[in-house]
Amino acid sequence: MAEVKLTQAQQAVVENRGGALLVSAAAGSGKTKVLVDRLLSYVEDPIAPANIDDFLIITYTKAAASELRGKISAEISKRLASKPENRHLQRQLTRIHLAQISTVHAFCAMLLRRYCALRDLPPDFRVAEQTEADAIRLEIFQNTLEDFYKDRANQADFSAMADQLGFGRDDRRLIDLCLSCYDEVRCRRDMDGWMKKAETAYERISPLEESPWGAFWMKELQDTLRFASESLQKAMMLLRRDETLEEKYGPVFKENLAQVQTLAQETTWDGVFAHKIPDFGRIPGVRDCKEEAAKARAQKLRKDALEAIRDVQRAFYAEAATVEADLQKTTPAIRGLLQLLRAFDEAFTKEKRRRKLLDFSDLEHETIALLYTKDGKLSRTAREISEEYREILVDEYQDSNEVQECIFEAVSKNGQNRFLVGDVKQSIYRFRLADPGIFLQKYESYCSYEEAKDAEPRKILLSDNFRSRREVLAAANDVFSLCMQGESLELRYGEAEKLRAGLSYPQTDTPKVELHCIDLGKPDADEQSPEKREVEARFVASRIRKMLDDGMQVTDAGVLRPVRMGDIVILLRSLKENPASYQKALAQQGIASQCDRGESLFDTTEAQVLLATLKIIDNPHRDVDFVAALASPVFGVSSEELARARVGNRSGDYYDSLLALETRGEKLDAFLSWLEDMRSRARLLPLPELFDLVLQTTGMEDIFSAMENGAVRKENLQLLRAQIVSFSAGGNQSLMGFLRYMDDLAESGNAPAAGARGGTENAVHIMSMHQSKGLEFPVVFLADLSKRFNLSDASMGVLLDETLLAGANVVDMKSRSYFPSLARLAIGEKMRRQTIAEELRVLYVAMTRAKEVLVMSYCASRLSSVLKKWNEALTLPLPPRTAASALCLGDWVLLTALCRTEAGELFAETGPNEVSAVQSDPWVIRLHHSADLQERLENTVRQELGEPETQKPAPEADFTPYAHLTASKTPSKLTATALKGRLLDLEAAEQTPQETKNPERFRLPEFGRKSLSGRARGSATHLFMQFAKYEACRTEGGVTGELERLVAQKFLTPEQAGSVQTERIVRLFSSPFGARILEAKTLRREFKFSILTDAGEYVRGAEGEQVMLQGVVDCFWLEPDGIVLVDFKTDKTPYGPEERAAHYAPQLRAYAKALSRMYGLPVREKILYFFSCDCAYRLE
């Protein structure tokens, strides 16, 4: 095989010496190759040859470290093949195992073991597994929180924190918030120093514009006014194209520009506040205009300028004194939070030391304490360690954080012998607290290696891509040179950053880049609706099917061959909801698929059964788990056997019922005997041994291995075993503790991932964009590009930042309302920008995975409006502010597509623009309407299956009727809601009118409210009725207060609260019927039920068959002589209460039957309350 020739830049990376070297290695640029070659260039240096273990090489995963060690070893062997007599190289093969090639945490652990006495650490300390550390952390935090609650009377700041930041029915969200804050402060080099700084920042906040947060917003205002000024000046240039425009609009625009420039001269907070929002006023109409495009563009620029100013002036909501007072109101809560975190850190550290444990954060902070003195200077130990290494090589440097950066700096020789390689455009792990700003600071400050002198830090850019076709790289360059333009997006993608094709491919006729825009055609549909996912998944599957059927050519070892399923990957932003839709759609097309980590371990049947089994060993009185275990394939107790066991004794729980039975049968006797044995052993055995015994005695592994995806199911059981081994590693053998920890993981959304299901080696891969980093595929589908960005991190009650410190909501305890303080506004805005910048980098990672073909899809409910919005905003160069206003990854792709003349189908929706141009590497850009797409897909299926032949019916004598035909058509489960209007109920049939289409009726518009659909407004009212305090609802002020409380506590969104008609709620509780509700002593709301009942009551001819009836009762209460059942209705129809009540009668009869059976009492009254007419109707 021919020797790979390095490019000039790659050769410079290998040979450059002097000062610190930063290598910005773009996607596919061969960074691992040059890292290995640089290392071996030191080893083979003819003047001063180094040994392989003279270097410290840091990677970010164990797998990467192992892989790198293997590549170095392979390269040494390769060079030895041509120089077999080289004794120095021969020695390196034996020394490779001594080389310090590891993760940063492994390196820290090595140093701490060597210098344990200096840090007063036990020499036999153990690095905690993540599961174990998380379990201890949660337990200690809950204990710390409980201690603070007990001493609340003497903890004024904590009390304020609990009142202002605590919400919900328990402390779950408060715990999550505090632990998230703890993770954030642990990333600071000096955690205590940062917390002290955060506290003292509130001691001097005047003058406001000099505080961290006031200064942030003053700078933001100046940047915004600069943008507004430039926009207005561009608009005025456009006006000069037409004399009439300039005459009519010119004076107005000139006055607007003067207003902006005047506001820009203000340097104090109160000066800005006094100006408020500039009054741009109305612009006169212009009819006889020859330049309509210029007119529209000028109007848009003016509108954008005004909206930008309005957006930033939300921070200037009051004069300085008021804003300062609001900040002071949050001070006790912030102090209380930091006090709690300090106490927790002390208790957590103490418990870990007792167990001789260090977690990953401890490894970093203890190493910092080892390498630096208390005054921040390098220690003698640091200088000693730095002499051991000829060079420090750090891979994936863009993912480092502040603490790690301090460690790398300390063990180097004044930072001069550092080789730092990475790509900030691929920094996508901020959620793991990586800080791309560290890489960016060096990238922007280091000079080019060609200009560097002596020991001056320098940088080298590797932009040649040895992975992808030229057309794919051109598409990536187009997107990022348009949208990644610095400012809030952090990096400017200029000529130096553009990817260059370093690999030649054979020519084919296949389109290399495609963009498919799918219009769902349902303006009222949710953009994240299941229907949208299904439509897009079916389209992607059909496109893959066509590629396979057409034998589309891809390159394999330089030779063209037909594409295979395994060559294709579908990349999704998130795997939480989508994978099932894509797997189903692919399966319908006969395509195998492999989804990597699309499922939570706790969502798998095997894990649920095993956990239920462990839970009843711990406590057999858990009815749900008891029945789940018994009814599972492991114990195989049928529903009939369960029912018979329960009939004999309905009091108490299932376990007690079984014990009370005189005759249970062999199966149940064996189960109870096994359970008693396991419970006895659980008191004696270590958890892993108990786990293994349960698997062995039940045959659980064999049972699940025999099912579909058996190997994966067996793997999931072993993943659960790994959890129990990790949990018990520190000596905790409590089964109850382990089960509680598993529940905590499930509730917090941090459940471990299940094994990958489905597919074979030759299967379409489905994975998240994060998972794809470092991988490559011949064909890449970027799907679900319209998925909205997740900005929830910026919505927490308290936010922390390295430089902006801490900010919290201002809470009014009387009204239970809140609004963000100036500090929280600033931090939230900074976090929002950081998230948007990272999302753009995620798109870069995703697009650069494709080797030969890149297919992108964007499905939206209101596609036309989205396209028009971006077409109007498009101008070249694109302002960073416009790019930063994207709501999803696909918005950046659409902006780029609208710059291309091949976007004709999109321009049919938007009209033309002035910036589209012919490109050298065209895309295929298509617009699909959902209805047409659906028809095409169905036609394709019919063609593939073939039309069925027309057959004559067989003689009647040839058929034997199936004895249980009705049962086969009877559903196994019904909901009570679905029963409304069923004509089987004869009484209802006689009284219910035929459904007719409601005539168009004029209704006054509800100004000032965000538009919610009728169903959504009804849901909002039902949520209010579920959670509101009824005693407060007799006045409009009381209802308003409840709405504010429910919004504050996240039971309702502001839009939902705005849709609730307060006057109707008041009329209800001011009525005699409302008084009955208020007087009820045993009121139950949103009561869920499931009962087995005779299907013949609901399905004609199904008498004797069983059906599961489920439902949710809005409201009921008990009275001495029976139950009063109430159902609230919010719909509007042209019929009167009597007709509408008849329609709902079957539903309420089902509710009544369920309640009567469960409580053993008659339902005395069934009442429908109609909000639309403020009346209660009693059903007979």
pTM of the model: 0.73
Q: Which of 411, 412, 409, 413 is nearest to 400 (CA)?
A: 409
Q: Provide the pLDDT for residue 965.
A: 39
Angle at 743 between CA 737 and CA 746, to 5 degrees: 145
Residue whose C-alpha is closest to residue 1128's, from 1042, 1081, 1064: 1064
Q: Which residues contact 931 (CB under 8 A, 6 or more apart)?
A: 521
| Strand 21-25 versus strand 513-519 pairing type | unpaired
pLDDT at 435: 92
Q: What is the pLDDT of residue 760?
A: 56
d(CA 780, CA 977): 44
Helix (H, G, I), strand (E, B) or coil at 709: coil
Q: d(Cα 233, Cα 231) in Å, to the nearest integer?
A: 5
pLDDT tops 80 at residue 964: no
Write out pLDDT tens, residues 1096-1127: 565 555 565 656 667 788 898 888 788 999 99
pLDDT of residue 649: 62
Q: For residue 1079, what are the contacts with CB-CB under 8 A and spacing of at least 6?
A: none
Residue 1104 has a pLDDT of 58
Q: Are strands 559-562 and 553-556 parallel, antiparallel or unpaired?
A: antiparallel
Read off the tokens for 685: 């055995």
Instruction: Extract the tokens encoding 789.
Output: 């960005």
Instruction: State the maximum Cα–Cα separation within the chain, in Å, rounded to a whole number.
Output: 104
**Gap between the Cα atoms of 845 and 27, Å rounded:** 8
Give the C-alpha separation, 1142 to 1137, whole Å. Answer: 9
Q: Which residues contact 345 (CB under 8 A, 6 or more apart)?
A: 182, 191
The pLDDT assigned to 281 comes to 66
Query: What's the rounded Cα separation, in Å, for the pair 1029 and 1078?
Result: 10
Q: How far is CA 825 from CA 203, 839, 1053, 1177, in A?
A: 19, 21, 19, 49
Q: Which two tokens stand for residue 909?
A: 């929706």
Distance CA 930, CA 38 (A): 54
**Extended strands (E) in 737-840:** 764-768, 777-782, 798-801, 805-812, 817-820
pLDDT value of position 950: 37
Exposure on the CB side of residue 787, measured as CA atoms within 13 A: 21
Kind plus residue range of the DSSP H or E element containing 1163? strand 1163-1170
Which tens digit of pLDDT belongs to each residue from 567-577? 999 999 988 77
Q: 């917390």: which residue's tokens?
A: 195
C-alpha dihedral sign at 161, 162, 166, 171: positive
Tens-place pLDDT, residues 100-130:
999 999 999 999 999 999 999 999 999 988 8
Which structure tokens are listed for 835?
């998230």
What is the band of 252 on the pLDDT scale with cuts at 50, 70, 90? Answer: confident
Q: List CB contacts of 108: < 8 A, sequence separation 6 or more.
A: 363, 364, 366, 367, 407
The arithmetic mean of pLDDT across residues 246-264, rounded, is 88
**Could you read off the pLDDT of 16-53 as tens digits, one per residue?**
998 999 999 999 999 999 999 999 999 999 999 999 99
Omega of the bond prior to 207 within 30 degrees of 0, cis?
yes
Read off the pLDDT of residues 1143-1158 as tens digits, 9 standing for 90 and up.
888 888 888 888 887 6
CA distance 880 to 894: 16
Q: Which of 69-78, 213-222, 1138-1147 has the least mean pLDDT?
A: 1138-1147
Geometric angle at alpha carbon 599, from 105 and 699, rounded to 5°? 95
pLDDT band at 525 (very low <50, low <70, confident <90, very high): low
* Distance (Å, whole) CA 855 – CA 783: 8
SS3 assignment, position 31: helix
| pLDDT tens for each residue of 1078-1097 | 988 778 888 776 666 666 56
pLDDT at 85 over 70: yes
- Tens-digit pLDDT profile for residues 441-497: 999 999 999 999 888 999 999 999 999 999 999 999 999 999 998 877 788 999 999
Q: Is the pLDDT of residue 953 over 50?
A: no
C-beta of residue 723 within 8 angstroms of C-beta of residue 751:
no
Instruction: Tell me the pLDDT band of 186, cut-offs 50, 70 and 90.
Output: very high
pLDDT digit string, tens, across residues 398-444: 999 999 999 999 999 988 999 999 999 999 998 888 899 999 999 99
Given pLDDT bands bounded at 50, 70 and 90, which one contains residue 133?
Answer: confident
Residue 1165 has pLDDT above 70, yes or no: yes
Give 667's pLDDT tier (boundaries 50, 70, 90): confident
Distance (Å, whole) CA 224 – CA 1070? 51
Mean predicted lDDT score pLDDT of the chain: 84
Average pLDDT, integer, range 674-701: 89
User: Helix H segments across 376-459?
Assistant: 380-386, 402-410, 436-445
Q: Determine contact, residues 570/764, Cβ cutoff 8 Å.
A: yes
Whole-number Å distance between alpha carbons of 468 and 500: 9
Where are the strands (E) in 665-727, listed by range?
A: none
CA atoms within 13 A on the CB side of 237: 7
Quick check: 748 pLDDT over 70?
Answer: no
The strand pairing partners of 1168, in sequence order, are 1127, 1177
SS3 of residue 1167 by DSSP: strand
Report the candidate in 1152, 1147, 1161, 1071 with the shortest Cα–Cα distance to residue 1118: 1161
Query: Using CB atoms within 10 A of its CB, is residue 1080 exposed (0-12), middle (13-18) or buried (19+)?
Result: middle
Q: Tell me the backbone φ, ψ of residue 554, rounded to 5 degrees.
A: -130, 165
pLDDT of residue 986: 30
Identify the weakest region by mean pLDDT among 302-316, 501-515, 567-581, 1080-1094: 1080-1094
The percent of residues above 70 in pLDDT, for the chain, comes to 87
Residues 824-883: pLDDT tens digits? 999 999 999 999 999 999 999 999 999 999 999 999 988 999 999 998 888 888 888 899
Q: What is the pLDDT of residue 826?
A: 96
Domains and CATH numbers, the chain: 8-125+359-466 (3.40.50.300), 130-205+329-355 (1.10.274.50), 509-598+761-929 (3.40.50.300), 601-748 (1.10.486.10), 973-1179 (3.90.320.10)
Q: Is the pLDDT of residue 975 over 70?
A: no
pLDDT band, residue 632 (cuts 50/70/90): confident
